[in-house]
Every structure is written in structure tokens, then in C-alpha cells.
A and B are shown apart, each in its own frame.
Chain A
């Protein structure tokens, strides 16, 4: 086993997990909501980027923000449909509705983009870097850089800006936030829009690593769930660390045992961590 290569694979995979999960981290942390259409929104982000390049001839650097705008629109649409349930914090109904929304997105994407796989080529995905017996692409570098930038930006906004302060108020107590004159509905819309943009960005940046299919999304939402819960619900650094840890674990487990069993193994780790630290990796021992 090439340990150095597995570390690189693990870090790239880990940053991918973290980047896919960041929208969910905010959604769950701020709005106490879940979105099981998250994986299909990731798929849509990848396909919209592909279509922007292949069909409309946009350069990759413009296709990415285009995809994010579409992601924001999807997020807005979802929140419009869910608003009543959101304000009631009716989690069971929200789970079912978002699962349904995911299937609708899958169906619409298959209708529009077809069921065959596509390759999302970018100026970075075809350029390899060799360093001794180590190998990666510039797209891998882009994944790591984008993930780091997005996490630092999110952490900074949440802790240093007025927007972040309002989001944290709503996260702690939406009813009390209302008494501060805060329009909680707008915050919920903003959170869904951020989730849509962030997951579309993830699809646009991570999609080029593998062929993209309209049927993808289920694995991504499962891994997102593991990352967010493992990191401690709502914890930005927790999600980042959980993503990296899960990436390294998946890479080494795949190399040492078999890639076929990485998802069950990841859930075993999740169960073990939650038994020992109920609040996730970022929480103090003892849980919440």
C-alpha cells in the first residue's frame, strides 16, 4: 500500500465530504431542519455545470456560479413549499416532503439530461500532477482549496458578521429572535438558499472527479448525514474535521479491506462515536 497516496486520496475525499455537507451543517445548525433532497441537489449542481459547459458553451469558471444560482433558486422553491412545516418545526413531515422532492428532482433531471452518464471535463480535471510515486489532479487541488475557503468564510460570517449573529439567534431560539424584531422567515429562506448554492458548488467542483449520473445523490446524502452528525450538529469546524476524518478512514479502509464495505464501516464508526461522545466529535465529552 502506498501510504502517501492514500493520505492524498483521503484528504481529497475528506474535503469532498466536508464540502457536500456544509449546506446541511448550516441547515441543521441554524434552522434545525433536514433536507433529504440534498443528494439530488448535489447531482443537479453537477449536471447544470455540465450543461452550462457542454450545451451553452460557458467556460467552467462561469458555469460554476451559474450552477450556484440555479441551486439558490431550487433552495428558495423548496423553502416556499416547506414554509408552513418549517415554522411548525414539523421534522417528520419535512423529512418525507424533502425525500419526495429528491425523487422529483431525480425524475426531472433524468428527463432533461437523460439517463446516461456524462463526463464533466474542466480545465483542471485533465491536468495531472506527479510527485515521486504520488499522483493527483489540479481538480483535486481545487476541491481542497474551495472547501477550505468556504469553511473559513462560513466560520467568519457566522462569528463576525451581523448576518451570522442573526443566524445564531434564530438557531438558539427562533421565538426569542422574533422579539428582537428579526424576520425569522427571511432567515429560513436565506439558509435554504445558502444550502442550495453550497451543494451546487460542491457538485460543480467534485463532479469532475467521476462520471456523473442523474441517479447519483443517495450515497452523498448518507455520507453528509454521517459527517454532520459525527462533527456535532451545527458545528462548522466539527463538520470539517469529521469530513477529513471520514475521507482518510474511507481511503485507508478501501485500500486495506475493500472499497465495497466503506459505507457500513463508516456507519460503524458513527455508532461508536455517538455512543462515546453523543454530541459528536466537536462536542465536549458527555454530549450536548
Chain B
């Protein structure tokens, strides 16, 4: 069975500077792969480049395949339509719209056997959002925004989810809740590439982990093996010292 997401020779440049250089990275069905590394290692650049999305002027090259289909030349909205979704770091919902409006856009009949999530499915996953359905996005707490961001992505019937730093600004208990929800979604067949600085929380839910340094993969392996690796510990401690 071919991987859900395959990245090959993925390179990102800002001006003349190459900030990401990934030889090969794949994501299997129902798999959670964690991407860890220090600040500026290229973690966010990696997930943004996989979708061809950037708030800056990044130049991306390389091959990106979703379920064996080359999507490298597709514009962002087409890749999303194909089932590759990104929940970015920072602004991830529309603040001037209600929770319900944020969830209104979705793929209800993608037509290729993809698992769909209706608004009620999202509310079942995150009951707090149902209670806040009439509130504006700007009125939500950090945790609620993260839930809504995940809910918005689920509404698009994703095959693979690129999740960028979901724990930022969240209370430790909420981090666990959000990551456990991600794990549950993967049990349903969703594949997730999870960028996370909170290595301790991430390692509990990922199947595999990669360590990025200066835009390159320097270490890769199953979560159980990576747990005690000194380089991972170093990266983890670095994150805690911040």
C-alpha cells in the first residue's frame, strides 16, 4: 500500500537562502509522525511547503504526492480539495465569524470514499465548540481556537493533516486533550504530520518521530526508540528552557 503523503527532494528557499532540504519523508495511513527540533529548524516551513502555502515569499521545489498522485504543481486550494489540509501556527480561524460560520465550509461529498466530518461530528468530538457555536472566533480561548482549527480542517474530509504547533499557548491539560483527540482521529484512518515543540507530550501520541536541524532531517525512528535518544532529549530540554 502506497503512503498517504510522500515528500521527495523538498527544498525551500527564501531569497538566496535554502532553509529546508528534505530528501524523503513519507506518512502512512493512520500514522502520526512527529516533527521536532529547535526554533528555526524548519519545522513550520516543512508543513507549509508540503501544501505549497506560505505567508512569506517562499520558493518551493520537489515532489509531493498524495496517495501516489503528484500534487506538486497544484495550487493550494486544489491540494486542500484533494485531501491535504494544514492547521497553521498562530492565526488558524476567522475571528470575525462565529464558530458555526467557521465550520460551515466543508466537503460533504468528496466522492472518493474519504471519511467526511459533518458539523455535528465536530461538535461530538469537541462538545465545548457546540456550547460556543454562536460566539465569534475572536472571543474563544486558545484551546477552543485550536479545537475549532482542527474542526475546520476535519470538515474538509482530509486524508492527511499537517498540524503546526497545536500546543502553543495551551494549558498542559489541554495539550494532552488536543493530542489525544488527534490520536483518536488517526485510529479512524487519518494520517497526521505533527510539528511540536512539546516533545514530551508529542512522543506519547506519535508512531514515528523526526528531528530537524537547520532544515535537514538528522534523526528518524519509531517513537519508542527515539524516546531515550540523547539528541531528542537535547532538543526537548532546549524547548523547556525557552
List, in ascending order, chain B residues with CB within 8 A of A181's CB: 77, 80-81, 105, 107, 156
The reply to whether B91 and A182 contact each other, CB–CB distance below 8 Å, is no
* 159-204 of chain B: CB within 8 A of chain A: none
- The complex places the Cα of A173 from the Cα of B105 at a distance, in Å, of 15
Contact partner of B77 (CB less than 8 A), chosen from A168, A172, A173, A178, is A178
Q: How far is the CB of B81 from chain A (nearest CB, A)?
A: 5
The reply to whether B85 and A179 contact each other, CB–CB distance below 8 Å, is yes
Contact partner of A176 (CB less than 8 A), chosen from B51, B94, B107, is B94
In this complex, the member of A169, A173, A178, A181 whose beta carbon has the largest number of chain B beta carbons within 10 angstroms is A181
Q: How far is the CB of B39 from chain A (nearest CB, A)?
A: 22
The reply to whether A180 and B53 contact each other, CB–CB distance below 8 Å, is no
Q: How does the 8 Å CB contact mask read for A177-194 relative to B, with 1 for contact and 0 for none?
A: 011111110000000000
Check if B96 is an interface residue, CB within 8 A of chain A. yes
In the complex with contacts A162-B104, A184-B77, A179-B97 CB distance below 8 A: no
Q: How far is the CB of A157 from chain B (nearest CB, A)?
A: 14
List, in ascending order, chain A residues with CB within 8 A of B55's CB: 175
Q: Name the residue of chain B whose CB is nearest to the CB of A186.
A: B77
In the complex with contacts A162-B104, A165-B97, A173-B91, A180-B76 CB distance below 8 A: no
The reply to whether B105 and A176 contact each other, CB–CB distance below 8 Å, is no
The reply to whether B77 and A169 contact each other, CB–CB distance below 8 Å, is no
Interface magnitude class on chain B: 20 to 34
Decide if the interface of chain A is mainly helix, strand, loop or mixed.
Answer: helix
In the complex with contacts A165-B105, A181-B81, A176-B91 CB distance below 8 A: yes
Q: How far is the CB of B110 from chain A (nearest CB, A)?
A: 11
Q: How does the 8 Å CB contact mask read for B85-122 relative to A, with 1 for contact and 0 for none?
A: 11110011111110001001101000000000000000
Interface magnitude class on chain A: 10 to 19
The reply to whether A168 and B97 contact each other, CB–CB distance below 8 Å, is yes
The reply to whether B80 and A180 contact each other, CB–CB distance below 8 Å, is yes
List, in ascending order, chain A residues with CB within 8 A of B53's CB: 175, 178-179
Check if A166 is an interface residue, CB within 8 A of chain B. yes
List, in ascending order, chain B residues with CB within 8 A of A173's CB: 91, 94
Check if B208 is an interface residue, CB within 8 A of chain A. no
- The complex places the Cα of A121 from the Cα of B104 at a distance, in Å, of 47
Contact partner of A180 (CB less than 8 A), chosen from B91, B96, B152, is B152
The number of A-B residue pairs with CB atoms under 8 Å apart is: 54
The reply to whether B80 and A179 contact each other, CB–CB distance below 8 Å, is yes
The reply to whether B105 and A172 contact each other, CB–CB distance below 8 Å, is no
Q: Name the residue of chain A whose CB is nearest to the CB of B137.
A: A172
Q: How far is the CB of A8 from chain B (nearest CB, A)?
A: 38
The reply to whether B105 and A166 contact each other, CB–CB distance below 8 Å, is yes
List, in ascending order, chain B residues with CB within 8 A of A179's CB: 51, 53, 76, 80, 85-88, 153
List, in ascending order, chain A residues with CB within 8 A of B107's CB: 181
Contact partner of A182 (CB less than 8 A), chosen from B86, B88, B97, B105, is B105
The reply to whether B80 and A172 contact each other, CB–CB distance below 8 Å, is no
The reply to whether B104 and A165 contact each other, CB–CB distance below 8 Å, is yes
List, in ascending order, chain A residues with CB within 8 A of B105's CB: 162, 165-166, 169, 180-182
The reply to whether A172 and B156 contact each other, CB–CB distance below 8 Å, is no
Q: Name the residue of chain B whose CB is nearest to the CB of A169.
A: B94
List, in ascending order, chain B residues with CB within 8 A of A172's CB: 94-97
Q: Name the residue of chain A whose CB is nearest to the CB of B153.
A: A179
The reply to whether A169 and B76 contact each other, CB–CB distance below 8 Å, is no
Q: How far is the CB of B139 from chain A (nearest CB, A)?
A: 15
Q: Name the residue of chain A whose CB is nearest to the CB of B152.
A: A180
List, in ascending order, chain A residues with CB within 8 A of B92's CB: 176
- The complex places the Cα of A172 from the Cα of B102 at a distance, in Å, of 12
Q: How far is the CB of A240 from chain B (nearest CB, A)?
A: 20
List, in ascending order, chain A residues with CB within 8 A of B75's CB: 183
Q: Name the residue of chain B whose CB is nearest to the CB of A179.
A: B86
- The complex places the Cα of A183 from the Cα of B75 at a distance, in Å, of 9
Q: Name the residue of chain A whose CB is nearest to the CB of B95.
A: A172
- The complex places the Cα of A172 from the Cα of B77 at a distance, in Å, of 17
List, in ascending order, chain B residues with CB within 8 A of A165's CB: 97, 101, 104-105
Contact partner of B156 (CB less than 8 A), chosen from A162, A166, A169, A180, is A180
Which 9 A/B pairs are nearest by Cβ-Cβ distance? A181-B80, A178-B76, A183-B77, A181-B77, A180-B105, A181-B81, A172-B94, A172-B96, A179-B86
Q: List 25 A-B contacts (CB under 8 A).
A: A165-B97, A165-B105, A166-B105, A168-B96, A169-B94, A169-B97, A172-B94, A173-B91, A173-B94, A175-B55, A176-B91, A176-B94, A178-B77, A179-B51, A179-B53, A179-B87, A180-B80, A180-B105, A181-B77, A181-B80, A181-B105, A181-B107, A182-B105, A183-B75, A184-B77
Q: A181-B105, A181-B107, A183-B75 are in contact. List 6 more A-B contacts (CB 8 A).
A: A166-B105, A168-B94, A168-B96, A168-B97, A178-B80, A179-B80
A residues with a Cβ closer than 8 A to B are 162, 165-166, 168-169, 172-173, 175-176, 178-184
